Structures are given as structure tokens and as C-alpha cells.
Structure 1
Amino acid sequence: MNILPLTDNHIMIIYVKSNNGVKGKYGIIINYSNESFINEIYLGNVNGFVECSISGKGLINIEKPDKEGIATWSWFSILDITRGKVIEHKNGEFHVPDLLSYTLVDSLNFILIDEGFGSMYILKYDETKGSSVIKDPNLPYWKVYISFLREDIDSPTIPYLVYQTTEKLNNIKIKSCTATYNAEGYICTMILNNTITNKKNNKSQTVINYYQLRFLSTGALVRLNIVSNPTNNTDIDLKILYYGGFLTMEKLEGVRNFYLLDDNGNYTQSRRSFGPEFIHFNMFRINNTIFGVNNQSDNKFEFLLKSIPRLNNRSTEYNCPIIETTKPAINEIIDPSIKEIIIKYNIPVKLSTANVSIFQLSDDPDKPDLLRQMFSGDYKLCTVGHDNYTVHIPIFESTFSQPNSSYYVLVKNDFVISQERDEPLMGVREKIWTFSTKPLKMAQHSDSITGILRLNEEGSLKFLQTNHLVFSKNMIQEISKIIPVNERRLSTSGIWKYDPTSPKKILLSFNINEAKDDHTIEPNSQIIFENLRTLIKQKRFTALSFNEYTSFIDESAPFVMARDHLKEFYPLIIIFSVGLVVLIPLYILARIKNPNGKNSAIFETCFIIQDFAVDLSFILLKVKNTPHLVIPTKIFFILPIVINILLAINIFVSEMAKNPSFSKWGLYYNSVITYDLIPSLALASGGLVIGNKLILRSYHVLLRWIHRRDKIKEFNKRRHLSAASIRSLRSNFEN
């Protein structure tokens, strides 16, 4: 029986079972509460290799090659494991080469760093199949091939020859294969068994040597060199260490001794680890730790853990030897408005095809973490710094929208590749690079907002075919989880219409309600609107793309705010109404007192002052949105006022000098002059402003009239041509 971890909460128990006399390998999936989620599934024959992919999307079963050198494989999807679904979604075959002249001795399967599997084949020349060709001293007697099967490709690569020798060795055995920590591809430990004869005394002895074989993901050989054996024992266990080097384990008289070797296989130090009282031992490769199990009485076990010295000073924080530092650091408290995060590697890198994702940790352990953003390294959003060691990852405005919350960055293997060899590099697993956001300060109050989004054609069709209220409610539920925000802050107005610019698509309106609870600190409506607008704009990189209803949103149309004109101009309407209430009685009183006077000046003066205020506010607040109109607008605003003021002063001075009665009146009622002068200036300046507006409007009317006249001329011309053609036809007919 074997136990294979699948997800954080599920494992597969793999066991051998006989069915009609034929042994096979079966599996059953349970959670850590011993609840079974799926019936027994058949995986393959008893000698098959079963392993889960690095991505966690599926598991594979690779059979041992048969006599024809065919090894069948089956890939099972476990994406729906919580619903009890494990589906075989593809299968195929590995084909061992050169079987016409060689015999397959052994095979080995291992996990690739870029989400796939590798198969290694050891071939020995079969002299019974050959002829006189064996006399050729350059003929390889042993060959080692490697073939790769990537998760997103339906067939494996052709086998690559990574090792061959003309020596007639007794045997070659592959102990293990794994990815290297320093971007040198993959490393395998090999045992070469050879018999050496001493020509002097004609005595023979068997020599067993350990080698390391390094090769790239292209099948190119990097190096092959011997690994030293610091013991006098040929039966040793050689382990590849995660942070470089090897660990040699020797069992002698019940005592296990450990020897540390460097990357080149040279001895560095020895460590006596476990005595005969320990019945089992193993190692945590990522933690660089070995442990022993001591069987105690009363069904108790004692575990003894010992750390293995690292051969380099590379960081262990991220469980990734090639990452030096990150910004933000692990467990740092960040400002939610940061624009990027940074990863610094200790070798030059290039961007590749795998994803980098940011998740918000769920407060409920039974609920999945919330995806905030995700994109691949080669999508041109990420950049590599000028030093070729740092990778800059942009952050969307909506990513860290939740204050006082925990987040983590998941960096997939093959997000970057080594610049020197183009080899995929290790990433950072989930919940390792974690940090949190600062608590939210009291946000400025924002009233409710109505926003309009557009559905794509598929979503518009589904909206028309289903209950509109149910559709909107389901979309609100998904949006509230993705933002995230309390569902009561979102509602639907029930209003929808076809988009005039794209008739097959529908516009939906949603309300973002103001926060009602004064005892809780919540983001205001404007912040929620901005976050949702960013999520829609970056839909393909956010969780909106992975939910049923939010995937119907059309990201090519921005999420816009619907204008409520009554609410927007409510203060101005109140001011205007109050002004009318005041002015109308004044006008009536003035008309009663002086029926022949120009009493309409009361309204004209107010309207001109109001026009002046509106023009001034437009210049101060709105004209900055069109920079090329700033100077002309200011000129046409200021120049008429200055000219009219000068003209008004000139008229006033002239009247004072030439009109004795006006001069006498002005000197006698000098206190009134100030009150009369202001409206006079306003009337004068306003008059010219109105005059300028009339001139501009007249100019536009003239342009429209000229344009219409040209159209009429063209129409008449065509009409005359048409009449001439008719007359020509008539004359031809009569003749």
C-alpha cells in the first residue's frame, strides 16, 4: 500500500488487488476525516508508476514497458476531486528505441519541473540479435535514453540519447532522478557494475562505482562524473540533496552513518546519525532534514530529526534555492496601493510561460482562497530588470483591496528560465511568500453609485433566455465574492437595454449602495466602484474569468458610472428655485411701484451674474480636461469683460463731465453710485459676452446654411442630369 498526497485535504490510497487472478493497482480517494469521495478506480498493472503532477491538476500512471518496448500511460484529471470526479482525460504510449539490436534492462520515471514526467530507459546490446558488427570496437554496448511527456502535450518527445559506453559493463542501474537546484536541468544517480581483471595474476574483481548524470530538458548532456564513496561498503544509499550535494548513507552493524558530498561528488564531512534502536529513517528533502523512528513500548514511536548542513548560503525561506530576496518580504505589512512586487534571483533569468498568481487567504479553512490576479511571465506585463536578476510583477489596483488581510504569491515552476541554458526554474509554492495589508483608515463617505456594464454576446443570449432577476442576482453573488465586499452593498436596479454601439450586446445597471453600518469600517462606494472597474478591465487576469456569470462580462467595454442628473444638479436646482421665489415678488413690487420702468432688469442682472459665475466655474473646473482650449477660453472670457468695464467707465465719466444733471445727481447720491455701478458693469460685460455668444452661434448657423446650400445645389445638379437623360430617352423612343 502507498499513500499519495493529491491536494491539501485529499490523499489517494494506492494498493494492489487481484481480479480474476490478475493483479492490478487500484486507488481510492479520501480526505483527512477518512471520508471517501470516489469509488475504487483502476490505475494500471501492479508494476506501474503512479504519481501526482507538480501542478496538482492530475496524476499519471505509467506502465512498465512490455516486450515490444511499449509503455502505456494514462493521465487522470483531479480538478473535480471534491465532487468525486477523477476522469482519465488522455492516454498514450512511450516507445523504447533500438530494440532490434538492444534489450531493455530497466526503466525509471520521474517528475519534471515544468509540469510533466520523464522516462529513462537503460539498453544493453544483445549479442544474440547482432552479427559480426559486435566486433566493431566503437559500437556502444550500453545506452541510456530519456523521453519527456509534458502535461499540456498529447504525446511524449522522441527519446534522447544521454549516455552510451563501449565498455562491457555487468550492469547499469539508475537510482533516482530529480531537478537540479542551480538550473542545470536534471540529475540522476547511476550505479555502474564492472568486472576488472588483473592481467598480472589473472584475478578478477567486481567494481561498483557511483556516478552523477546531468542533462538538460532538451536531452543534451551536461556532465557525467564519478561520485566518491567514503565507505568501504559497496552497498550504500545515495540521496540527492535539494540545496546541492549528495548524502551517502551506510548501514553497518545496525548503525546508520551519513556522509556529506559536494556538487562534484567529493567527500566533505561525516555524521553519525542513528543507532540500532531506530527501525526506520527517511528525509524531508525540501527542509534538508533526516529523521529516524524509534519503536517505543505501549505502541508509541519516537521521532528524532537532524538537520543536514547546507553546502551554500542560499536562502531557504522560499523553499527555492534560486530566489535570493523578494519585495515585499515574507510576513511584511504592505501598503495596499503598491504598484509592483519584485523577485530577485541569484542567477540571470528570462521570463517564460508559467503563471504567477496572487491569492487572498480565506478566513474560513473550508473555503478556497480568493484569486486576485494571475498572468504568465511571457504576457509582457512582467519585466526583467537591467541587471537580469530581478523580475518586476505589476499589481492591479483591485488586487490588495481588502485591508488588514493576508495574501500570498504563488509562482509556478517555469515562470522564469535560466538565461544561460533556457532551463525552467523552480517557483514558490502556495502560502510561503505571505504578507498582509495595513488596516483601513476611516474612509470618506460616498453616496450610492449606479454603474453600467456590458455583457458579451454569449452572456447577452443567456440573459435573454433566463430569468433576468435570477441572472442579475447570481452575478451579484459572484462579484461580491471577487471584490470582495458584503453582498448587501450591491443590488440591481432591474434596468437593462441594448447597447446602441453593439446591438447584440446588453447593458446592465447595478447599484453600489452606501455603507449603512457606522460601527464597521467598510470601503466607500467610490472605492468599490474603482475596484470593480479595474477587475472588469483586467478580466482575463482576474477571478472574473473563472466564474460562471462574471465570465459573461465584456471587458472591452469599461464599467461606467450612470449619471443621475437630478441628484447631480440638485443643489443648483434648489438655488435657482429659491432665487425665483425671491425675484418674482421683487419684480411684482417694482412693477406696482413703477409700471413704466424697465423692471425686467432685476432678472437680467441676476441671470448675467449667474452666467458669469457658471462661465468662471467652467474655466476653473472643466476646461483643464481639454488643455488645447485653456488659452482661447480664458481670452474669450476675460477680454469682453475688460472691454465692457472700460466702456462702462468711459460712459460714466463722460456723463459726469457733459451732463450737469447726472453729475449733480451723482454727487448728491454718491453712496448709490457704488450699488448702481456694479450691476451696470455686470450688464455691460454680460451684454458683450452675450453678444459674443450670439456671434458664435450666428457663425455656426451660417456654416450650416452654406453646407445645406451646397447639398441643395448638388441635388439639383443630379436632378437636372436625370431630367436630361429622360428627355434623351424620350426623343430616341419617338424616333
Structure 2
Amino acid sequence: MFNRAEDKNTSEVINSVFDMRKLGDKFVNAEIVTFNGLFQGGYLITLRDNQRKTIEGIILDNDGKYNGTWGFPPGLKSSGSFGVTASLNGSLRLVTFENEMTLKISFTTLPKFFSNDQGYENPHIKSTYPSIDSSIPLSITNINITYHLSVTISTNNVSIYQYINNDDIPILRQFVPGNSPYFSYSSDKKTINMKVLESTFNQPNSNYYIVIDGNMVRDWKSNNPLLGVVRNRWKFNTINIQDNFAEESIGRFSLTEEGTKSFEKLSLDGRRGFLSQLRIDLAKSIPVDINRLDYIKCCEYDYSQKPPRILLSLPIKSTTSPHERNVDHIIKDLDILIKHKEVTPISWFGTTNNLEASFGFRRYKNLLDDFKFHLIGIVIGIVILGFLYFYAKKKYPLGENIVIFKFPLIILNFIMSIMFILNNGKNVPQLFIPSIIFCVIPTIINFVMGVIIMLQEIKKNRYFYEWFKNNVDIASLFTILSGANLEMLNILSSQVAGIMLFNAPLSEVIQFYIFWGSFIGFFINDVPRFIIQVFYIKLVVNYDIIPFLTLSTSSIILANNIISKIYHAIIHLYSKKRKSIMILQNKKISCNLANENSSITVPRKIRKTVK
């Protein structure tokens, strides 16, 4: 129902839409007071003749063409103000004030331009999806409204409610303002499509209704506001479906920057009260039985956001009832609700409005649970390498059979470093560029050094050259692999499992260069990569398998290099000390022989032998 008096913009609207010359010359001098859309279609124009102090009304059809007058006697007197009300049943009430003490109420019946309102109590609506009293699947993502006439979106809302019975307080599931990008038109502008979140119709065997505010749409031709749909008219239900069981899980969500600052200012009791109320409001927003949500845990900081935000953890309990939402669906619904909080109940509560939309709600990943099959595969791979190692050692004990472990470890670490940059590098922007630098530059340096070392050995070591001529392909392959780690060149002379292919006669000088080249790589490659991985695990919330493997292989390689370098230093010092002892012993023997020579005459032949 509507009731309009004077409207200053009415004449502008009419002049922009209708050709008033079609109404006849008798209305030229009349003042247009109101221009109203009627419930049963068409339009009512109310006119006042200020000279004769009379009011008149004319009816236009849906196309704006003259249909007739409003049914009251012509030339009604009105010395004062008046009011016009069009009711839902198609009648018109006119209230005129004759003087301060007298008013007159008149009724008349209006013509109907729409024959049936289809149960929406809005004859402009032709049909909807879902239709009234229908059953719909869960989590549909679109609804639509088809009008009899072309319309345009205005400013007011479409709201979706869930209810148990008509007497209960309904639960708001989603609301969308008219100027939202959630709306789109059909080509003839008669059908309006509205995007619906998957979390809106998420409860099986539940009742819903949709409310359309008045002035949510306007007549496209006249720009006149159209009626909406009141509660309990456009109602329907979701189908009953059984949900699969899902284990309990933990999810994380973030406070906004303002929410973090406000939370930090609270006392200990204030924080407890905030978290308790937040749990209640989240249960209402989903909606879900509050007993399914455990107590919220606080507090961690997400340093990947600037400034850092507080992270909260929410355990979600599983259920054995097939008619309740399982844990996976609750996590998904809560993520959608938070990410689109501008149109969901999340923005309605003082607590949930402090949740960061861009973060959403993320499942907390436990490496042992989420990546157990990956870890099992890694263990199986290590066991297979162990069997290969013992087989190689039994076949040829003198070979450096440890390369069976070292070779796949270096290759895996190099591949994981590249995959980390591609898949996870941008998760922490401040680590992205350093990750690229300490991957690309050491690789180039190692490769250039590998090429130089191979060319020097080919040029100066004729035994290596003979091997090289027969094994060009394997030599070129390991030259390329030296970009990952310069020690890959040592595998060519490892004699692993007695394979002649890996029997390259590398000179001691080249092995010396490889040792010091890998020592430099230890500082420009291994150490920086390890530091980046340590910072990454501290700065992210969700830690997945690629960073885990990258950190694991980097740690093993770093530890191996440190220990091997220490052992080489010990061997070098021991060799140097042993050499010094041997020199001292030789000197002592020489001195003793000299003393003996002073007292004993030794034949020249024997003397030469002693020397």
C-alpha cells in the first residue's frame, strides 16, 4: 500500500516519459500533484486546478496511454490539502479537507491491468525461481524474478530468511542491496537474476522465504517505484538430503586491523567475553548447533598481513546425524560467509564484523594427517634407496656408494626450491624476490664453474679425456646437473656399485676445485635457502607439503655439508700433523745417524744405503 501527497519531481518524471498532449487540452493549465503506480497495474495522475480549486484524476495503462478518469465525480472541490491512497484490493480512497473542521472520504474502484498476482500480492510479478511452495536443491546459486513489464534496479534490498515456523524469529541468511553487482538483467529487462551464495540455502529440509522491499525495482519506462513482496509470501523449502560423515577439524580466521587493535586493548576477562560471544554469533550466522563449535583459541599472529593480524582457531566437532551439516560443509559455509560478509549476517554482529573478509575461514592443516600418503611415499623411497645402497656396497665395497642417497637428495632439493617459488613464493611477498635471487644466481654460478672445471680437465688430464670420449652424454648431463650442486661432478668418479660409467679419473687439482666451489655454494646457496624456509614457516598460517619438503631437504643438505666440511678439516689437520711428525722423526733419525757416523767408520757403500 502507498500514500503519496505532493511530489516536486512528479512533473519532471512524467514529462520525460509521457507525451502529455495525448491527455487533451483541458489538463494544460492543471497542476500535476501526484503520479502513482497502481497495485493492479497502470498509473494514477492526480491534478489540481488552483483557479477553480478542484481536483481530478486520470488513469493510464501499463504503456502510459490514456485509459479514463479515476471514477470520482468530475470537478471535486478541494479548498485545502488532500490525500490519495490506493489499496491492495484495487480500490482508491480520496480524503479531501473542506475546511479545518470538515473532511470528506470518498471511495472508488480502479481498473485492473493485471488479472492475477500469482500469490505474491504484487501483480507486477509474473513468476519467480524458486516458485512459491516449491522444493529446491541445497546450495543453489541463483534466483530470479520475472515481471510483466520492463524494470530497472533501484536501491532497496532483497533479503532471504530461514524460519522454522511463522511464529519464530526468522534467521537472515543473505541480503543484497539493489545497487549490488549480484544482480543482472535479461535482454528484455523483464527478468532480474540475483546471485546467491552457496551458504544461503545450506540447511536440508528447511523453510525459507524472500522479502523484496518496495522500491527495489522501478518501472523502466516511468521510473516509478514498484511494490515489493512481503514476508511469508514467496516461500519454499529445501529438499531433505543425508550428509556424509566427516572427521572433526580445526579452522582459523583472522581479525581485521581494527579488530586486532580493539582486541589487544581488552582485559583478560574482556577477551574471554569477546571470544564467548563470537562463538555464539558464528553459530547463529552459519547456522549450526552451538555445541558443534568448540571454544575459540587465541592468539597467534599472521605476519604475512601488514600490519600483523590476530589469528583465532575454532575446533568444529563431527556429528553422526546424517541430517546435519558435516564438518567439511560447515568449514566451506563459514569461509563463504566471512569472505562475503557485506551481504551475510557476519556483518550484523559486533563480534563477527571484526573478521577479515580476505582471509576467510581456513582449515588448519596437520602435516601428519593431510600429507600422510606423501610421507608414506617418501619413507618407501628411502627404504628402496637403502636396499640399493646395501646392494651396491656388497657388489663393490670400494665405491663411494653413498651417492645413491646424495644424488636424489640434491635433485629433490633443487626441484622443491623451484616448485616453492612457483607455488608458494608469493604467499609471503617479502621472501619472493630473495627466493628467486638465491635460486637463480647460485645455479648460474655453479653451472659456469662446472663447465670450466670440465673443460680444464679435458684439456690437461689425458686419462680423463680418454674417458670423456667414450662417455660424452653422461659428462654433459652431469655438467648440467652441476648447476644444482657442484658436487654432482664427483659422482663421475664415485665408482658406485662398480659401474665403469662412473669411473672418470678426476685429478686431485679438479677435486680440490670442486671442494672449494661447493664450499662457496654452501654460503651463497644452502644457507640462504635454509634461512628463507625458516622465515617462511614463521610468516604463514597454512603450511603445505612443498615448503615442508623444501625445508627438509635443505636441512639435510645443510647438515651434511657442515659435517662433511668439518670432517675434511679434521682429515686435513690430521694429515698435516702426521706429516710434521714424520718430518721430525726423519730429522731425529738423521741426527742419530750423524752421531753414529762420528764414532764408527762406515763403508761408503753402506753409508749411501743409510742416506
Q: TM-score range by the shorter chain?
A: 0.5 to 0.7
AA matched with 2:162: Q
Amino acid at match of 2:127: T
**Aligned equivalents of 2:5 and 2:301: distance in 1?**
56
Contact 1:356/1:374 (<8 A) preserved: yes
Q: Tell me if the contact between 1:243 and 1:321 (Cα under 8 Å) persists in the aligned partners.
A: no
Q: Distance in 1 between matches of 2:361 and 2:170?
A: 26
| SS in structure 2 at match of 1:532 | helix
**Does the Cα contact within 8 Å between 2:46 and 2:57 map onto a contact in 1?**
yes
Question: SS in structure 2 opposite 1:527?
Answer: helix
Q: CA deviation at 1:339?
A: 2.1
Distance 1:479 1:259 in 2: 52
Q: After superposition, give the CA deviation of every residue in 1:6-49 in whole Å (9 maximum; x if it has no partner).
A: xxxxxxxxxxxxxxxxxxxxxxxxxxxxxxxxxxxxxxxxxxxx
2:477 and 2:115 map into 1 onto residues whose CA distance is 80
Q: Does 1:212 align with 2:57?
A: yes
The 2-side partners of 1:222 and 1:688 are apart by 91
Deviations 1:663-712 (A, max 9, x none): xxxxxxxxxxxxxxxxxxxxx9xx9999598344249999x98x98xxxx
Shift of 1:380: 2.3
2-structure distance, mates of 1:259, 1:355: 33
Corresponding residue to 1:499 among 277, 288, 302:
302
Q: Report the counterpart of residue 574 of structure 2 in structure 1.
A: none
For 2:291 and 2:479, the matched residues in 1 are separated by 53
Flag the 1:416–1:311 CA change in 2: closer, same or farther, 3 A.
closer
Give the letter for the 1:460 counterpart. T
Structure 1 599/432 Cα, relative in aligned 2: closer, same or farther at 3 Å? farther
Name the aligned partner's letter for residue 319 of structure 1.
E
Q: Match for residue 464 of structure 1? A: 264
1:621-632 maps to which residues of 2 (within 5 A)? Answer: none
Q: 1:522 to 1:603 in 2, by over 3 A?
A: farther
1:476 equivalent in alignment to 2:263:
no
Residues 600, 566 of structure 1: alpha-carbon distance in 2 compared, 3 angstrom cutoff? farther
Assess, with a 3 A threshold, how the Cα gap between structure 1 residues 353 and 222 changes in structure 2: closer, same or farther. Answer: farther
Matches within 5 A, 1:36-115: 111-112=2-3
1: distance between equivalents of 2:484 and 2:387?
34
Identify the residue that residue 551 of structure 1 maps to in structure 2.
353
Quick one: structure 1 residues 598 and 404, their matched pair in 2 at CA, closer, same or farther if it must change by over 3 Å?
A: farther
Q: 1: CA distance between counterparts of 2:147 and 2:45?
A: 21
State the AA in 2 paired with 1:242: L
As a proportion of its length, which structure holds more helix? 2
Cα 1:469/1:573, change in 2 over 3 Å: farther
Secondary structure of residue in 2 paired with 1:484: coil
Q: Secondary structure of 1:463's match? A: helix
Give structure 2 stretches of 5+ with no counterpart.
Answer: 11-24, 78-83, 95-105, 424-470, 489-516, 525-611
CA distance in structure 2 between the aligned counterparts of 1:539 and 1:462, rounded to whole angstroms? 19
Letter in 2 for 1:459: G
Deviations for 1:469-522, whole angstroms, at most 9, x for unmatched residues? Answer: 432222121111111112232234624233324344523232343424x24532
Q: Is the 8 A contact 1:347 1:418 kept in 2?
A: yes
CA displacement at 1:311 relative to structure 2: 6.4
Aligned to 2:226: 425
- Deviation of 1:560 after TM superposition, in Å, equals 2.7
TM-score, normalised to structure 1's length?
Answer: 0.45
Amino acid of the residue matched to residue 310 of structure 2? L
**Residues 606 and 697 (structure 1), Cα distance of their counterparts in 2 relative to 1, 3 Å cut:** closer
Q: Which amino acid aligns with 2:158?
A: V
Q: Which of 150, 159, 165 is the equivalent residue of 1:348?
A: 150
Cα deviation 1:33-75 (Å, max 9, x = unaligned): xxxxxxxxxxxxxxxxxxxxx8xxxxxxxxxxxxxxxxxxxxx
Q: CA RMSD in A?
A: 5.5
Quote the Cα distance in structure 2 between the aligned partners of 1:188 and 1:313: 24
Contact kept, 8 Å, 1:450 with 1:509, in 2: the verdict is no
Distance 2:65 2:107 in 1: 25
| SS of structure 2 residue aligned to 1:378 | coil
Q: Work out which of the residue numbers 247, 253, 263 in structure 2 matches 1:447.
A: 247
Deviations 1:530-552 (A, max 9, x none): 11111111111111111110011
**Residue 600 to residue 396, structure 1, CA distance change in 2 (3 Å):** farther
Q: What residue in structure 2 maps to residue 510 of structure 1?
A: 313
1:490 to 275, 293, 303: 293
Q: How many Å separate the matches in 2 of 1:607 and 1:445?
A: 44
Decide whether aligned partners of structure 1 residues 414 and 311 sit closer, same or farther in structure 2, where only a CA change above 3 A counts.
closer
Alignment partner of 1:329 out of 125, 131, 136? 131
Partner residue, 1:407? 208
Aligned-residue offset at 1:345: 0.4
What TM-score do you get using the length of structure 2 for normalisation? 0.53
The answer to whether the 8 Å contact 1:407/1:434 transfers is yes
Contact 1:414 1:424 in 2 (8 A): yes
Partner of 1:389: 190
More strand by share: 1
* Corresponding residue for residue 694 of structure 1: 481
Q: Tell me, yes or no, if the aligned pair for 1:180 and 1:187 is still in contact at 8 Å.
A: no
- Find out whether 1:365 has 2:210 as its counterpart: no
- In structure 2, the CA distance between the partners of 1:224 and 1:387, relative to structure 1 (3 Å rule), is closer
Cα distance change on mapping 1:600 and 1:348 into 2, 3 Å? same
CA distance in 2, matches of 1:536, 1:688: 57
Q: Distance in 2 between matches of 1:240 and 1:577?
A: 79
